[in-house]
Amino acid sequence: MPLPINQIIPGDCVDVLATLPAESIDLIFADPPYNLQLQNALWRPNMTLVDAVNDEWDKFTDFAHYDAFTRDWLAACKRVLKPTGTIWVIGTYHNIHRVGTILMDLGYWTLNEIAWIKANPMPNFRGVRFTNAHETLIWAKTSEKARYTFNYRAMKALNGGKQMRSDWHIPLCSGNERLRVNGEKAHSTQKPEALLERVIRASSNPGDVVLDPFFGMGTTGAVAKRLGRQWIGIEREPVYIQVARERIERVMPETKGEETGERGEATRVPFKRLIAERLIQPGTVLVFRRDPEVMALVRGDGRLQYRDLNGTIHTVARMLAGAPCNGWQHWYFTDEAGELQPLDMLREKLRQE
């Protein structure tokens, strides 16, 4: 069977994975059910009900049931991963230690354990334990001796020129990024794009195939498409599939190159030079990530003004993304034809001259 590139495949992930060619996938990101075992309704102190995770897909009869489920899908993923491929699995204290044990039992080799530190975690309303302010990601390769992709320089560039650490401070998915159906959250555990962007940039290259066996709202596919990767999603819930398809159709690919570090040695172009060369005029409105509702004004000193904040293209972009990012990759300007174009296109024009 040829790879169903850039498609969402309906069905159970183990069944679908069994139909894919062996050693055909470059990167897997898996956000499996956490087995939260929520038994009772959770209320805030003001007696409003917490919108917690109580979906049927997160319910298992016992730990043995969950372990068997985990072993099945992890084994199926290992079969389709290329020898040079890697897998990321995200979870909480409810499941991540069981997942880690099974990963090792299946012969995967752990590369890193990443702590996603949430800037805005849900409080512990009962006050009986610490607030859960992080989730854990395990990054693993197929075997101890396997070679793998790690775009070190790209991660360093995203982190302001410093080596990126294993604690990632990224806010929860909220605001306009949170997908809704009839005013309600479409998915209880939608992940922020900033998290997936870091995973995909770090451990894959343009053109690589990224697979998500628990596709949900399609965040993996949306970010993969934006970053110039191929993607495959597996999802069994029809509502999620429809929302994810519509979301990904709206995504526009960005320019290539940043993730592999080619630009790390390229000529540095200050944003002020675009103003000096009259490629950008003071007063120009820049749009963040093609969202016409998020705009900043170019100042005469080469800084951006967003509401009460003024800063460099990188500083303001980091504030809006809630994570380190390269402003050249996230700001867009309107060309003479009225079309949005990446700001980085103007930087490349000056480099070529």
The 10s digit of each residue's pLDDT in 45-66 is 444 434 444 556 456 678 888 9
CATH number, domain 7-260, options 3.40.50.2300, 3.40.830.10, 2.40.30.10, 3.40.50.150: 3.40.50.150
Q: Whole-angstrom Cα distance, residue 302 to residue 185?
A: 39
The 10s digit of each residue's pLDDT in 169-179 is 888 776 777 78
Q: Whole-angstrom Cα distance, residue 166 to residue 259?
A: 18
The 10s digit of each residue's pLDDT in 108-123 is 999 999 999 987 676 7
From residue 70, how far is each of 34, 213, 303, 346 by CA, in Å? 10, 12, 49, 47
Band of pLDDT at residue 297, cut at 50, 70 and 90: very high
Q: Give the 3-state secondary structure of residue 314.
A: helix
Which secondary structure element, helix H or strand E, spans residue 334, and what is its range? strand 331-334
Q: Which residues of 174-213 are buried (b: 16+ CB within 10 A; e: fewer)?
A: eeebebeeeeeebbebbbbbbbbbbbbbbbbbeebbbbbb
